[in-house]
Copies of this chain bind each other. A is one copy, B any other.
């Protein structure tokens, strides 16, 4: 563990693995982690459950880990607009989204540093994931959610025993309330999926699994729903650990909230945008914290970014459901970008096309019921 260092993506300031800061104390930027991030095939431990097989690449002590069955989700062939692609089924993780990979790592991290109270701001998958892993690890969990959150979305977190606080105001107000609560309590920890680099180091395991599942090769291109960017930056961290030609990452966003796409198209940094209305709620993040890591993930893999319309998301959902893949709207954003390129006749690189499916359709029954209402 002493080989890992927190590095601010903005100013380069470093902190040791023992730091208690969740963002750069100098400039406020997001941290990444640098360390022994190089896959050594002989060190993969097939006897360890799920993602823990990659213990040698993780900045936690696996003896601190709890397991709910996270990782080693299936990679299955399927179709988009008639073309064969491979879907990575992270919707089938324990609490129903890819965020379990990050939450599992954070729970192990907290066990090590001895914090007993997990504080998170989220109304959706991150709250469920952190609540679930907190329960498994015997930690308290406090969820701060926007006042407008529908009660049904918080049932899972509440069942896990999380204390839910509803906060009036903007999404930033909610985050600030969580950060303040953590700052005033020495036993607490702001376990943010949007900020904490240990979370991303957990998420990277999805790409390591894909590499193994393809028989030890990287895919040619990878489509990732992108909001706060942890799935995308996680994929990049995985790619960095792998041998061979890097997979090209495609950050996929709803057109109603596409600050990454705008930045890539203009060749600028990511500028905050006000999210419009989209069915893909999990990607409705106008100002992602890890903005430089997101752009680096795209440029260093020779990737790109694509915006998809609401209609494209809905059409893609129907294609996915129609082949037995039950995902929530946000999870279809990567697939929608892939389908858009295929339908547009864009040339896809030779090799495997992989699409990450991030969250379960069982989380969005009401929304899906409305969508299929006319069928």
Q: A: which residues have CB within 8 A of B?
A: 49-50, 66-69, 72-74, 76, 89, 92-96, 132-136, 151-152, 155-156, 158-161, 321-326, 360-363, 365-366, 368-369, 372, 375
Among B76, B155, B361, the residue within 8 A (CB) of A156 is B361
* Nearest B residue to A160, CB-CB: B321
Enumerate 26 A-B pairs (CB-CB under 8 Å) in ascending A order: A49-B76, A50-B74, A66-B324, A67-B74, A67-B76, A68-B89, A69-B73, A69-B92, A92-B92, A94-B324, A95-B324, A133-B324, A135-B321, A135-B322, A135-B324, A136-B323, A155-B365, A155-B368, A156-B326, A158-B375, A159-B321, A159-B368, A160-B326, A161-B321, A161-B322, A362-B363
Q: B326 and A159: CB pair below 8 A?
A: yes
Number of copies: 2
CB distance from A126 to the nearest CB of B (A): 15
A322 to B132: give the CA distance in the assembly, Å: 8
Please give, as numbers and ranges, the residues of chain B lying within 8 Å of A161 by CB-CB distance. Answer: 321-322
Please give, as numbers and ranges, the residues of chain B lying within 8 Å of A375 by CB-CB distance. Answer: 158
Please give, as numbers and ranges, the residues of chain B lying within 8 Å of A74 by CB-CB distance. Answer: 49-50, 67-69
* Nearest B residue to A321, CB-CB: B159
A133 to B322: give the CA distance in the assembly, Å: 10
A10 to B94: give the CA distance in the assembly, Å: 41
* Nearest B residue to A317, CB-CB: B159
- Given known contacts A68-B76, A76-B69, A362-B360, is B372 in contact with A155 (CB within 8 Å)? yes
Among B68, B93, B158, B324, the residue within 8 A (CB) of A68 is B324
Q: A372 and B76: CB pair below 8 A?
A: no
Nearest first, the 10 closest Cβ-Cβ pairs linking A and B are A69-B74, A136-B324, A362-B362, A135-B324, A159-B321, A132-B324, A155-B369, A69-B89, A68-B324, A155-B365
Among B69, B160, B361, B363, the residue within 8 A (CB) of A159 is B361
Please give, as numbers and ranges, the residues of chain B lying within 8 Å of A50 by CB-CB distance. Answer: 74
- Contacts beyond the supplied A69-B73, A69-B92, A134-B324: 4 A-B pairs with Cβ under 8 Å: A96-B362, A132-B326, A133-B324, A156-B326
Please give, as numbers and ranges, the residues of chain B lying within 8 Å of A93 by CB-CB distance. Answer: 92
A321 to B136: give the CA distance in the assembly, Å: 9
CB distance from A322 to the nearest CB of B (A): 5
* Nearest B residue to A78, CB-CB: B136
Please give, as numbers and ranges, the residues of chain B lying within 8 Å of A151 by CB-CB distance. Answer: 369
